[in-house]
Structure 1
Amino acid sequence: MSGAYTVLHDPNGLIEAELPLDRAPHEALVTAVLAWNDPDLAPRDYEQIALQLTGHARAVASDVRRLAAALPKSNGRGALAEVVLREADGRLAVPLEGTARCVQNRARLVRALYTRLDRLTEPAPVTA
């Protein structure tokens, strides 16, 4: 049937949760962006890189949010994740600019979100 489409209803984001993040290329991009000294790119190039990092930051934040929500309220890792997520929400609300500074800020955000994601996925510390 040509032109047909299916509307997907996934209010809990379960389908998205099943898809693994494409982490390696984004980490390589973050590393490259943060190593910039004085890049000479066109504003549109900066904007495209910032868009790529923004989209990935939102995907990582979604994973962090899902994992943090599954933790007991008494777990400190969830509270720290909430702090990082509030910071991420604020930084993602800032409009993109066609500048190296903007791109590097998005790269730092992706790095911070991956750090928090890793802390949420490692085994919980054993308390005596």
Structure 2
Amino acid sequence: MSDTHTVLHDPHGLIEAELPLDRAPHEALVTAVLAWKNPNLEPRDYEQIALQLTGHARAVAADIRRHAATLPKNDGRGALAEIVLHEADRRLTAPLKGTARCAQNRARLVQALYTRLDRLTEPLPATR
């Protein structure tokens, strides 16, 4: 058996751009996490949930970046996307904690990113 492998070089994220986001299960997770009142999970469980949401937040943010990059410079949606992405980057650099609050903060971030993505991808109203 050989120890060969292929290194994938995709600096522009083109392969990732072709893959659709797995939105439904992540939105269900966001809904469940935000509905928690007094959860009684182990810290490692909160951490795993936060990790899952963090990874998905990064994927949604990358999708937002790709969509925003295609907009004309005078389209205000691109400027708003940059603000949301800057805040997302700041929040994603915060260390994860094994708490319900941390998981819920990541869930809110995913929710906000999907809101921005939807606004970027919806057609603009026709102007006369």
1:71 aligns with 2:54: no
Q: After TM superposition, give the deviation of residue 125 of structure 1 in Å.
A: 2.8
Partner of 1:13: 13
State the distance in 2 between where 1:126 and 1:61 align: 27
After superposition, residues 1-128 of structure 1 pair within 5 angstroms as 2-128=2-128
Residues 59-83 of structure 1, C-alpha deviations (whole Å, 9 max, x = no match): 0000001100110110011111111
Moved segments of 4+, more than 4 Å: none
> Once the two structures are superposed, what CA deviation does each residue of 1:23-81 show, in whole Å capped at 9, x if it has no partner?
00000000000000010000000000000000000000000011001101100111111
Offset at residue 9 of structure 1 (A): 1.2
CA RMSD of aligned residues (A): 1.0
Q: Report the 3-state secondary structure (helix = DSSP H, G, I; strand = E; otherwise coil) of the residue aligned with 1:40.
A: coil
Q: Deviations over 1:78-111 (max 9, x none)?
A: 1111111011001001000000000000000000
Shift in Å at residue 3 of structure 1?
A: 2.7
Give unmatched runs, 5+ long, in structure 1.
none
TM-score where L is the length of structure 1: 0.96
Q: Which runs of 5+ in 2 are unaligned?
A: none
- 1:11 shift after superposition: 1.1
2:61 aligns to what SS in structure 1?
helix
Q: Share of identical aligned residues, percent?
A: 80
Q: Which amino acid aligns with 1:101?
A: R
Aligned residue pairs: how many?
128
**Structure 1 stretch 118-127 or stretch 92-101: which is displaced more?**
118-127
